[in-house]
Amino acid sequence: MTEGQDKPIGDMSFEEALRELERTVRSLESGDVPLDESIALYERGEELRKACQKRLDAAQAKIDKIVSDSEGKPTGTVPFDADS
C-alpha cells in the first residue's frame, strides 16, 4: 500500500487525492503488485477518481455561474446551486 492510503478520501484535498491516484496508477502499471493488492489498489483508485471528478465538476459549476454584464464582462458570481 502506498503512503496516504490510510487517510479517508473525503478528508483529502483535491491535490492529495490526485497525487495518490497518480501513485496508484504507477503501481498498477508497474506490474510488480500481487493480484489481490492490484484489485484493492484498483478499487481505491476508482474511488479517488470519483472524488477528484466530483470536485472538478463542482469547480466547473461555480465557473459556469459567473455573472456577466450586457457586454459579456464578468461582474460577479452566484452560487452554482442557485436558480438561474
Question: pLDDT tens digit string along 1-36?
Answer: 445 567 899 999 999 999 999 999 999 999 999 999
Kindly state whether residue 54 falls inside one of the protein's structural domains. yes
Q: Is residue 82 part of a domain?
A: no
Report which of residues 62 and 20 the model is more confident about.
20
Domain enclosing residue 56, as ranges:
9-77
- Look at residue 1 and tell me if it is in a domain: no
For the chain, what is the domain count? 1
* pLDDT for position 34: 96
Query: Sorting pLDDT into bands at 50, 70 and 90, what band is 46?
Result: very high
Q: Which of 28-32, 61-65, 75-79 has the lowest mean pLDDT?
A: 75-79
DSSP state, residue 11 = G
Nearest Cα to 65, choosing from 49, 50, 51, 81? 81
The domain spanning residue 19 has which CATH number? 1.10.287
What's the pTM?
Answer: 0.70
**51, 20 in Cβ contact below 8 A?**
no
Rounded to whole angstroms, the Cα distance separating 20 from 74 reads 35
Residue 12 is classified by DSSP as S
User: Among 59, 76, 58, which residue's Cα sits nearest to residue 67?
Assistant: 76
